[in-house]
Structure 1
Amino acid sequence: MQYKLILAVLVTGFLAACSSTSVYQPAEKRGAYGYTETQLGADRYRVTFTGNSVTDKETVNDYAMLRAAELTLQNGYEWFQMVNRDTESKSRSSTNISGMYDYGGGTAVYQRCGLVSCNTYVTQVPSRIDGGVATTTTRTSYQSSLEVKMGKGQMPESAEAYNAQELASTLRRWMNNAK
């Protein structure tokens, strides 16, 4: 009985971890959750933040802006100007069917091939579903990419120019209050 309690606690912890928003941190690899940056010139960078399906679009954009501000300060600059901004969304849908299945309908055969060999799979196909309920879930994740030009001294008079120290401080304060 005790092992069931331990298993329940572990499963609950795992599900909680999976459903939390993306952590503000470097991505382990390009396309993974977190931020990446690419130097495009002496004073230009592309900054990207990729969120998971629980992180809303505004948070993903704020995290990309925070990274741009931090990177500006780390490189000895005072301000950055947005040259280009893009936010992409990716949606995935999955359908879960619950109910009773009759597996007398037959079999399906399919092949998956790699570079060296192919594997053949055989699976049973249900012929009917009695009293089944289909539930479709759609999850959307966002990725924000910014191209920024960094500078010192007089900041351009533009709505797309940001004081890096001020912006970083504001966004960090917002992140701490959101926890």
Structure 2
Amino acid sequence: MGVRNNASVAYEVKDRKTMKFILVLSTLAILAACSTPYQETGLAGGVEATMIAPGTAQISVKTNAYTNRSTAYQFALLKAAETTLQQGYGHFQIVSQDQYAKAGSNTTYNSYTGNFQTNSFSKPRVDAIIQMFKGKKPSSAPANVFDATEIANTLGPQLRG
């Protein structure tokens, strides 16, 4: 019979904890990779800006079911800031905004149990109209007015990874 000493038991426990930690990190990395990245709109979703008048743009964000609403809103803010700067303006105001989720479901068959399972999901969307202004954001500006450079410098590195 093999007798294990305390050191080998401690190593085995530590090794199991390490493996669980690696498994959790791997799972999180895989899930994070599934979310819609910050990109121009394509098959997997993304962001889009359309100029509708001089100094006015529509920002649209379409994401997949692995992207949360907060991230979709941040995508909209970053695209608004980038558009504002590209058009030669300094700050922007969100004139109107609509956040919603496109709901859906899929049904799968489990051949082991013989049962069908329906999974529901939602895909966050943001549509906003922004008005752009020259110069720096006034200190007395309302809460829905943003400094484009500040937003681009703050959210850009976070969302582009």
Q: One fold, TM greater than 0.5?
A: yes
Gaps of 5+ in 2: 1-29
1:44 to 49, 56, 60: 56
Q: Supply the AA of the counterpart residue of 1:174.
A: Q
The percent identity for this pair of structures is: 29
Q: Supply the AA of the counterpart residue of 1:152.
A: K
TM-score, length-scaled by structure 1: 0.65
Task: Give the match for residue 68 of structure 2.
Answer: 56
Task: Give the match for residue 34 of structure 2.
Answer: 20
CA deviation after TM superposition for structure 1 residue 133, in Å:
2.1
CA deviation after TM superposition for structure 1 residue 145, in Å:
0.9
Task: Give the match for residue 158 of structure 2.
Answer: 174
Give the 3 Å change call, closer, same or farther, for CA 21–166 of structure 1 in structure 2: same
Give the 3 Å change call, closer, same or farther, for CA 48–132 of structure 1 in structure 2: same
What is the root-mean-square deviation in Å for CA atoms of aligned residues? 2.4
Which is richer in helix? 2
Contact 2:136 2:147 in 1 (8 A): no
TM-score, length-scaled by structure 2: 0.72
1:90 to 88, 102, 119: 102
1:25-74: CA deviation from partner (whole Å, max 9, x where unpaired): 11137xx6111121121100001111011111111110111000000001
Gaps of 5+ in 1: 1-15, 101-130
- Please say if 1:66 is aligned against 2:66: no
Which is richer in strand? 1
1:83-119: CA deviation from partner (whole Å, max 9, x where unpaired): 001112111112223348xxxxxxxxxxxxxxxxxxx
